[in-house]
Structure 1
Amino acid sequence: MFHPTVARLTYRALLGRRRALILFALPALLVIIAVAIRALAGADDTTASGVLGGFALGTMVPLIGVIAGTGAIGPEIDDGSVVYLLSKPVRRSTIIFTKLLVATGVTVTFSAVPVLLAGFVLNGNSQQIAVAYAVAAAVASVAYSAFFLLLGTITRHAVVFGLVYALVWEAFFGTLVPGARTLSVQQWALAVGQKVGAEGALTSDVQLPLALCLLAVVTVGSTWYAGRRLKSLTLAGEE
């Protein structure tokens, strides 16, 4: 199910000059904000939760997911180079699974690791806030990578739709509108992180069993359908 050549090509594409700049800039900004807040206000649980939950999990993680998920396959479809990949004797499900693993690895590295570091800077992991938010970021990274990878196989405007979801639905509706939170990856991830942190350190509007179920549905469903889409691209090319 894992193809080293596909992984290497995907890794190089994701860490190209333009994408790498954005991928490094967002985590660096989070750490800079954490250092500045700690220097000016000292350690505080409420402030730490606000930064990690609001900026990190609410904005940075989905944005990195958009960059990694859509970038894992979208550019190849746009410029037509995916034809060369599909011409190789590699199962389409293997291509998608490999790209998902690479996209997830990149997203986790550039989101969960900086979140953990920023959490320790902000409050020294009081109430296990740093670890809890890092776990939430890692869990969200998997779902985001699968969903945005699927978008990359569906439309040439995957980045635009991904940004709309990340900035409008997750950062706005998913935070402010109670009913929309049930369909928010951020809230599902928070439910998992809530289990790791001290009682009351993290809160989610979604119960853990439902959150785990929805995370699995989105991740598995997106991966499966992305594989189907890739097969249809192959058939279209052969016709």
Structure 2
Amino acid sequence: MYNATVARLTYRALLGRKRAALLFALPLLLLVISVAVRLLAGADDGTTGDLLGGFALATMVPLIGVIAGTGAIAPEIDDGSIVYLLSKPVRRSVVILTKLLVAMGVSVFFSAIPTFFAGLILDGNSRHLAVAYGVAAAVASLAYSAIFLLLGVVTRHAVVAGLVYALVWESLIGSLVPGARTLSVQQWALASASHIADGGAISAQVGLPVAIVLLVVVTLGATWGAAGKLRRLTLAGEE
């Protein structure tokens, strides 16, 4: 269920100049802010939680998910080059799974690792906040990759739709509206973080069992939807 050639092409597309610049810019900004906060305010658990939860998990992680998830397939569909890939003797489900794994790997690398190191810079992993938010960023990255890969297959405006979802739903509505928090990937990820950090350091609006179920259902559902949509995409010679 993994094709090395498809993976290599996807990595090349995601780590090209423009996308690579965006992928590096957001984590670098987080680390720069973390250093500045530590120098100006010193180590503080409350500040650490606000920065890692408010910026890293609520904004940076979904934005990186948009770049990686949509960038794994949407540009190929938009410019028509996907036909060359689909004309090869590779199952379309394998194409989707391979691209998803690449998108997940890129998202986790550029989200979870910088979040963890930002936590170390801010307070040296006091109350296990660095590890907790790092794990939350990794968990959220997996779900976001699947969601945004699906958007990349179903719409030609995947980046716009992804940005609306990331900035409006996750960063704004999902953070402020109580009822919407249950359907927020951010809150599902926070549920895992709350069980890693020392008691009371991190709170989530969703219990861990429910969060795990929703994460699995959304990730698998988005993957299945993307594979089904790509399977129905016909080439000129197939019509």
- The TM-score with structure 2 as length reference comes to 0.99
Residue 108 of structure 2 is aligned to residue 122 of structure 1: no
Distance in 2 between residues matched to 1:194 and 1:102, nearest whole Å: 28
Match of 1:28 in 2: 28
2:201 match: secondary structure: coil
Residue 220 of structure 2 is aligned to residue 220 of structure 1: yes
Match of 1:160 in 2: 160
Match of 1:143 in 2: 143
Give the residue type in structure 2 aligned to 1:179. G
Give the residue type in structure 1 aligned to 2:225. Y
- Return 5+ residue gaps in structure 2 as ranges: none
Distance in 1 between residues matched to 2:132 and 2:174, nearest whole Å: 20
Match of 1:70 in 2: 70
Distance in 1 between residues matched to 2:203 and 2:161, nearest whole Å: 28
Match of 1:47 in 2: 47
Give the residue type in structure 2 aligned to 1:161. A
- Report runs of 4+ in structure 1 exceeding 2 Å deviation: 234-237
Distance in 2 between residues matched to 1:149 and 1:75, nearest whole Å: 11
Give the residue type in structure 2 aligned to 1:170. E
Task: Give the superposition deviation at 1:123.
Answer: 0.4
Distance in 1 between residues matched to 2:180 and 2:222, nearest whole Å: 20
2:182 match: secondary structure: helix
Task: Give the superposition deviation at 1:194.
Answer: 1.1
Q: Does structure 1 retain, via aligned residues, the 8 Å contact 2:48–2:122?
A: yes
Deviations 1:3-43 (CA, angstroms, capped at 9, x unpaired): 00000000000011110001000000000000000000100
Give the residue type in structure 1 aligned to 2:4. P
Give the residue type in structure 2 aligned to 1:212. I
**How many residues align structurally?**
239
Match of 2:94 in 1: 94
Deviations 1:176-201 (CA, angstroms, capped at 9, x unpaired): 10000000000000001111111111
Distance in 1 between residues matched to 2:162 and 2:35, nearest whole Å: 30
Distance in 2 between residues matched to 1:194 and 1:100, nearest whole Å: 27
Q: Does structure 2 retain, via aligned residues, the 8 Å contact 1:111–1:138?
A: yes
Q: Does structure 2 retain, via aligned residues, the 8 Å contact 1:127–1:201?
A: yes
Distance in 2 between residues matched to 1:222 and 1:234, nearest whole Å: 20
Among the aligned pairs, what percent are the same residue? 70
1:183 match: secondary structure: coil
Q: Does structure 1 retain, via aligned residues, the 8 Å contact 2:132–2:197?
A: yes
Match of 1:132 in 2: 132
Give the residue type in structure 1 aligned to 2:35. V
Give the residue type in structure 1 aligned to 2:36. A
Deviations 1:52-101 (CA, angstroms, capped at 9, x unpaired): 00000000000000000000000000000000000011111110000000
- Return 5+ residue gaps in structure 1 as ranges: none
Residue 11 of structure 2 is aligned to residue 7 of structure 1: no
Distance in 2 between residues matched to 1:34 and 1:189, nearest whole Å: 21
Match of 2:199 in 1: 199
Distance in 1 between residues matched to 2:195 and 2:20, nearest whole Å: 33
RMSD: 0.9
Match of 1:17 in 2: 17
Distance in 1 between residues matched to 2:236 and 2:197, nearest whole Å: 49
Task: Give the superposition deviation at 1:234.
Answer: 3.0
Distance in 2 between residues matched to 1:165 and 1:151, nearest whole Å: 11
Q: Does structure 1 retain, via aligned residues, the 8 Å contact 2:83–2:235?
A: no
Match of 2:109 in 1: 109
- The TM-score with structure 1 as length reference comes to 0.99
CA, structure 1 residues 236+226, in 2 after alignment: closer, same or farther (shift >3 Å)? Answer: farther
Distance in 1 between residues matched to 2:86 and 2:18, nearest whole Å: 26
